[in-house]
Homo-oligomer: A and B are copies of this chain.
Amino acid sequence: MRPAAFKPEALEEDSPYVRDLSGGKVWHRSRHRTLYVDTDRSGVVYHSNYLIYFELGRTSLMRDAAYPYKDIEQDGYVYPIIQVGVDYFKPLVYDDPMYIHTRPSALERVKLRFDYLITHLETGEIVCKGFTRHCATNRSGTPVAIDEKTLSLWKNFPR
């Protein structure tokens, strides 16, 4: 299976936001580089590590776009993950630089979803695509309405 085309263009110089000229959507973009520890004996990055790159993308987006996730937890909210999915297209190897693209997507009353797309920073090739779905809970794990700070992330995310 081949991923749909992805043609990111920075919204402004030095902006962490890009618009995908193929689909029109705006994504937050952060940079990262693979480490030795991320690889496995087949020479490529072990598949579960992409979920950690997703965390890095999500946490960078939240800091740049609205509030650090730490602030949200300090307000008494937790957003445990209830579902993940990843499609892998072309593995990263040791010392590869990458762009992690992240965007807030579906927003329901107590659930929300982030989408991710990782590309090789130099070649632009699509490495993987994925999503994480989260449920808003209070500290004791009871589902609650999504907090104001997180709502502002959805409201203010560039279009």
- Interface residue ranges of A38-95 to B (CB < 8 Å): 39-44, 46-49, 51-52, 55-56, 59, 68-70, 78, 80-88, 91, 93-95
State whether A87 and B82 are in contact (beta carbons under 8 Å apart), knowing that A39-B41, A46-B36, A59-B36 are contacts in the complex.
Answer: yes
State whether A41 and B78 are in contact (beta carbons under 8 Å apart), knowing that A48-B52, A55-B35, A59-B35 are contacts in the complex.
Answer: no
- List, in ascending order, chain B residues with CB within 8 A of A93's CB: 41
Q: Assess whether B48 is in contact with A80, with CB atoms less than 8 Å apart.
A: no
- List, in ascending order, chain B residues with CB within 8 A of A87's CB: 82-83
A4 within 8 A of B: no
Copies of this chain in the oligomer: 4
- List, in ascending order, chain B residues with CB within 8 A of A84's CB: 47, 84-86
Q: How far is the CA of A68 from the CA of B94 in the complex (A)?
A: 11
The 7 closest A-B pairs by CB, nearest first: A48-B51, A39-B41, A70-B95, A47-B81, A48-B48, A85-B85, A41-B43
